[in-house]
Amino acid sequence: METVSSWRSHHGTQGVYSHGSEATGTEMVFSVFVPDHEPGARLPVVWYLSGLTCTHANVMEKGEYRAACAELGLIFVAPDTSPRGEGVADDPAYDMGQGAGFYVDATEAPWASHFRMRSYVEDELPAVVAAHFPADMDRQAITGHSMGGHGALTIGLRNPERFRGVSAFAPIVAPSQVPWGEKALAGYLGRDRAKWRDYDAVALIEDGARVPEILVDQGEADAFLAEQLRPALLRGACEAAGIDLTLRMQPGYDHSYYFISTFMADHLRWHAERLRG
């Protein structure tokens, strides 16, 4: 691991780091905020997964999380959304290819050789974080925005023993049923829809995946709400499964980081309550 940059901020250290990834076969970049702490202390970790077209930098520059993380004693980790670089497959559209990894392990050409973001986020990057930062890996939570909200929900549902808190901002809750997801899952995984279910939060819940509770914030003025996000599908699945879903519809808010930054501290405090002990 190499340090790309490091800044003093909010009584902690905001860093950007890079490493060679075995999962993606590329150099991967991620950001970590570590609040000041007592020598030898291990701090709980909140993972943040970004949305379409984003990198680690979007939330780092606009998410307004550092003050709350410093107050609550939380490490905040933000990976990139896809592999990048020369020789990595791409697509001219914003919703496929570099910047749009959808947190899947692709099986279809030309994506399969590099687009293994599920393995990267679930397995490889946590090992890097555990080795290089004062992280208590027994206390982890996960959140994300839009495509990253889809990633947070699906990774959390697949790994309930790992994450004490699962939340999301304007997530794609059922990618198998919306245009963004149908395009991406077909491209990365092929046309067999049965293979998509492991990457669809609503389908995972229908198939038996369980977490005790989920927090979701959704802007009512979000231009993608009706066609791409469809939070009512998650509400129905959670009600049928007995999962305690707090779905907060926020009047006037759109899909931007103005929305995310407004409710970021709420999510971090919610996670901190579940990470204590």
Q: Name the residue among 246, 249, 171, 248 with its Cα closest to residue 204.
A: 171
**Which member of 145, 150, 255, 271 is catalytic?**
255
- Cα–Cα distances (Å) from 121 to 12, 39, 155, in that order, read 24, 28, 9
Query: Could you confirm whether 255 is annotated as catalytic?
Result: yes
Provide the token pair at 252. 């006037």
Pairing verdict, β 213-219 and 12-20 = unpaired
Q: In what order do the strands lie in the sheet with 135-144?
A: 2-9, 12-20, 27-35, 75-79, 43-49, 135-144, 163-169, 213-219, 244-250
Write the DSSP assignment of 121-141 as a string of letters: IIIIHHHHHHHHS-EEEEEEE
Angstrom distance (rounded) from CA 86 to CA 98: 11
Kind plus residue range of the DSSP H or E element containing 155: helix 147-158
Angstrom distance (rounded) from CA 168 to CA 231: 11
Q: Name the residue among 120, 159, 95, 160 with its Cα closest to residue 25.
A: 120
Q: Are 95 and 184 in contact (CB under 8 A)?
A: yes
Q: Name the residue among 102, 194, 196 with its Cα closest to residue 151.
A: 102
Q: Name the residue among 41, 72, 69, 48 with its Cα closest to residue 134.
A: 41
Q: Name the residue among 134, 139, 136 with its Cα closest to residue 40.
A: 134
**Which member of 146, 150, 167, 217 is catalytic?**
146
**Which member of 80, 95, 217, 222 is catalytic?**
222
Active site residues: 146, 222, 255
